[in-house]
A = this chain, B = another copy of it.
Amino acid sequence: MNISSKNRCFLVTCMLVVFLLGALSIDCLCQTRAKTHIDIPDIPGYITMKCDFHMHTVFSDGSVWPQIRAEEAWRQGLDAFSITDHIEYQPHKDDVITNHYKPYEIARPAAEALQVLIIPGGEITRSEPIGHHNAIFLTDINALDTPDSTIAIRNAAEQGGFVFWNHPGWKQPDGKAVWFPIQSEIYDQGWLHGIEVVNGASYYPNAHAWCLEKKLTMMCSSDVHGPINLDYDIYNGQHRPMTLVFVKRKTENELKKALFDRRTAVYYNNILIGEEKYLEPLFNASVEILNPKIVIEGNSRVVVQISNTSDVSYELVADGETEGISIPNSLTLHAHKTVRCTIRRTSETLSGTKRIRMKYKVTNLLVAPEEGLSVELPLRITFVR
């Protein structure tokens, strides 16, 4: 049948529409109100929690009521979040009564109902060079409200809080992070546990390197002040910057333990930053060659299909020669897609079945500043004359 028959189409559709009417009409749960999962896989031995530990509300200089942070976290697939209103900076104080506990107290029932973990926290907001620090897992937020900056950080650390340095390049020349003596002072005392390698749209390569050298935890935060959808186009696949935390179980205690144990990765835009021991299993849990057993007859080209079930589109560039076969110089493994590439033999003398690994660098998985993760995609090729 080539030309569609309108009459038939009409009747049939009518029937179905009438039948479906009940369901369609009552539904008040539109798609914007659903939860979108973040497809970053778990890795062997760990569950991958998606977390944002830096955000504000009307109780400091933010512009949403605390409950909204729980709602946003749920819809965007976060497992845990922390409201960290400025302890010292309250520009709305003529209208909103200062109370360091209120954001947590207001947001907690909403978070609990939605089964998202909420971690009590606050932002110690001092001038450079000491700068801003978030402290989370606090039991006494008011202890941070003290004149001396160093004492405030000590008080946070001594109550078991996890303390991390925020946006370390802010207000520095060219936005580049600088490690001042005051940072050494805090660090040497053991009061500093992490640094924001990414805050909002900003990546700090220096901070990235310091986390590796000084054994600090890599953090990634939105630092969102307004409604988050004003900053990120969530319904078109954008996501907020977040810290991935690799935990044994999804509990507050295990989350805290993992943070102190430096089991994190940074996830912002289409980039992951972290240690090889976390990024490699994340890649491997996302990517699969669908036809790893291949037969190459003579000089024919053969199609290799590679699937990627994660939200991250991996950008690969060939890392040196792959023995025996020619592979693409570059490959994009699109999120939630299968891509194909063609390979063929480069050596005339090969025969029999060989295990061959296609060697690539993943340029958007950073194991150090400007250094992509090395990966190998395994094939088992039978060469036939």
Contact = CB atoms under 8 A, between A and B. Distances in A.
Interface of A: 1-2, 4-37, 58-59, 61-65, 67-68, 71-72, 75, 92, 94-97, 99, 102, 113-115, 132, 166-167, 169-172, 174-176, 199-205, 223, 225-227, 229-236, 238, 271, 290-291, 302-303, 305, 307, 315-317, 328-332, 334, 336-341, 363-364, 369-370, 372
27 contacts: A5-B202, A8-B176, A11-B176, A12-B169, A12-B203, A13-B24, A13-B26, A13-B201, A15-B369, A16-B203, A16-B271, A19-B372, A27-B315, A28-B201, A29-B331, A29-B332, A31-B337, A34-B334, A36-B337, A58-B58, A58-B65, A63-B65, A64-B64, A75-B230, A95-B102, A113-B303, A114-B305
A160 B34 CA distance: 43
A29 B308 CA distance: 14
Q: How many copies does the complex hold?
A: 4
Contacts of A167: 1
A139 B199 CA distance: 44
Contact of A32 (B30, B96, B115, B233): B233
B8 A169 contact: yes
A229 B226 contact: no
B170 A32 contact: no
Enumerate the 8 nearest inter-chain pairs by beta-carbon distance, A residue then B residue, closest first: A8-B175, A227-B227, A229-B229, A63-B65, A23-B315, A34-B337, A26-B330, A35-B338
Given A21-B17, A97-B97, A291-B115, A4 B28 contact: yes
A20 B315 contact: yes
